[in-house]
Amino acid sequence: MFSLFKKSAPKEHRAEINGEAVQVFQKETILHAALRENIDFPHSCRVGGCASCKCRLVKGTVKELTDIGYILSDDELDQGYILACQSVPTSDVTVEVDLAAQKQRKKIPGRVVLQERLTHDITHLKLQLDQALIYKAGQYVDLSLDSLPGLARSYSFATPCQMDATLSFFVRKVPGGLFSTEVNDQNLLGHTVMVDGPAGEFWLRPSDAPMILVAGGSGLAPILAILKDALDGQSHRPVTLLFGARSQQDLYRLDDIRDLALKWSAAFRFIPVLSREDENSDWTGARGRVTDVIPALSLQGSEAYLCGPPGMIDAAEAKLIEGGVKRTNIYADRFTTTRDALDAGASALAV
């Protein structure tokens, strides 16, 4: 017996990744195929939220599972960048990826030596690693905990690189979030951790341009790391630091900021902005969204560093560009979560 209707063979495509050929099965992402073939392709979240798997599509076409425009810049999109974890080939493809950064990543074990509440929903987690991890202020690692086997999340360093092999992170509790709830609600002192990194391209570029820094919530972590590092490097750049929070109880590390401002050798302006502060409270500072303050700043010739939730970053970028800041002078780190990636239309939750 034979069927009248011959089954068509599943459509497979070939992906050439930095010259190495890989078979990509039907509906498979480029990242999945690369990892299956043991290519050490950079990745982290796997759901289109972190941009670690960014690569350049040199030839061919792909179907994107998520709107990648919310995480890649317009320049990157123009240059043909795609997210490998969100791209399913619709033809044979050729991609180029920077594997050098991946080679610099290390996995280092350590333990939790301090767990300190900074606000009602942000915890400072300090780790002692078995050996020092060299990183640039502004970068992040993928962190895993012994109490949550198989789960890793990205967190940005809250200090510049410390030679005593300690690392600090500010972790905000995301409602319904597995990792951040564990960090905020469970006693983790003495627990074993593993860090994998460093990663990311969010660090201070050498320049004399005035700096506009915008932090939302736990996005203050890499911003403080960058400023402390710049202070150690005796930066003379004028600084405007905007810190967005909901109410006064959500502001933290104000002593650190005051200390930075006192030691800074050029102008240092700090503007905390509260979005949900009680109208009748004693708060005399700025109110509204942190990005509302941007149009009133003197922006010409500035460089901007933005860190926090993706929505805040998109709004800040738009206002900075409107105000005359060049797109190429804006650096941003989006604290995306699984939810953000799902909202952007991700249909593949895990590889």
Ligand X SMILES: Cc1cc2nc3c(=O)[nH]c(=O)nc-3n(C[C@H](O)[C@H](O)[C@H](O)COP(=O)(O)OP(=O)(O)OC[C@H]3O[C@@H](n4cnc5c(N)ncnc54)[C@H](O)[C@@H]3O)c2cc1C
Q: Can you give the binding site for ligand X, defined by CB under 6 A?
A: 49-50, 140, 153-156, 169-172, 174-181, 200, 218, 221, 333, 335-339, 342, 349
Query: Dihedral of CA 189/215/77/139: which sign?
Result: negative
155 interacts with, out of ligand X, ligand FES, none, CB within 5 to 8 A per kind:
ligand X
* 50 in contact with ligand FES (CB under 6 A): yes
Residues 39, 48, 125, 199: which binds ligand FES (CB under 6 A)? 48
178 interacts with, out of ligand FES, ligand X, none, CB within 5 to 8 A per kind:
ligand X
User: Which of 87, 123 has the CB closer to ligand X?
Assistant: 123
Shortest distance in whole angstroms from residue 296 CB to ligand FES: 34
**Secondary structure (3-state) at 71:** coil
Helix (H) or strand (E) run with residue 303 in it: strand 303-308
The per-residue DSSP string of 199-266 comes to: E-S-SPPS--S-EEEEEEGGGHHHHHHHHHHHHHTT----EEEEEEESSGGG---HHHHHHHHHH-SS
Distance of CA 331 to the CA centre of its chain: 11
CA–CA distance from 260 to each of 90, 226, 263 (Å)?
52, 11, 5
User: Which of 172, 319 has the CB closer to ligand X?
Assistant: 172
User: Which of 85, 315 has the CB closer to ligand FES?
Assistant: 85
Please compute, for residue 80, the number of CA atoms within 13 A of its CA located in the half-sphere on the CB side: 12
Shortest distance in whole angstroms from residue 51 CB to ligand FES: 5
Residue with structure tokens 């050729």? Answer: 94
Shortest distance in whole angstroms from residue 102 CB to ligand FES: 12
CA 128-124-43 angle, to 5 degrees, is 70
* 53 in contact with ligand FES (CB under 6 A): yes
CA separation for the pair 264, 16 (Å, rounded) = 49
Count residues near ligand FES (CB under 6 A).
Answer: 12
CA separation for the pair 327, 76 (Å, rounded) = 11
Window of 42-50, 87-95, 116-124, 142-150 that interacts with ligand FES by CB under 6 A: 42-50
User: Which of 16, 201 has the CB closer to ligand X?
Assistant: 201
* 32 in contact with ligand FES (CB under 6 A): no
The per-residue DSSP string of 90-146 comes to: SS-EEEE---HHHHT-EEEEEEEEEEEEEETTEEEEEEEESS-----TT-EEEEEET
Shortest distance in whole angstroms from residue 71 CB to ligand X: 9
* DSSP conformational letter for 26: T
83 interacts with, out of ligand X, ligand FES, none, CB within 5 to 8 A per kind:
ligand FES
User: Which of 179, 268 has the CB closer to ligand FES?
Assistant: 179
Shortest distance in whole angstroms from residue 195 CB to ligand FES: 17
* 43 in contact with ligand FES (CB under 6 A): yes
User: Which of 198, 210 has the CB closer to ligand X?
Assistant: 198
* 319 in contact with ligand FES (CB under 6 A): no
Q: Which of residues 81-110 bind ligand FES (CB under 6 A)?
A: 83, 85
* 52 in contact with ligand FES (CB under 6 A): yes
Query: Dihedral of CA 254/330/222/152: which sign?
Result: positive
Instruction: Please list, in sequence order, all residues whose beta carbon lies within 8 angstroms of the beta carbon of residue 134, skipping any fewer than 6 positions away.
Output: 161, 198
* 141 in contact with ligand FES (CB under 6 A): no
333 interacts with, out of ligand X, ligand FES, none, CB within 5 to 8 A per kind:
ligand X
Window of 14-22, 37-45, 175-183, 197-205 that interacts with ligand FES by CB under 6 A: 37-45
- Residues of this chain that interact with ligand FES (CB under 6 A) are 43-46, 48-53, 83, 85
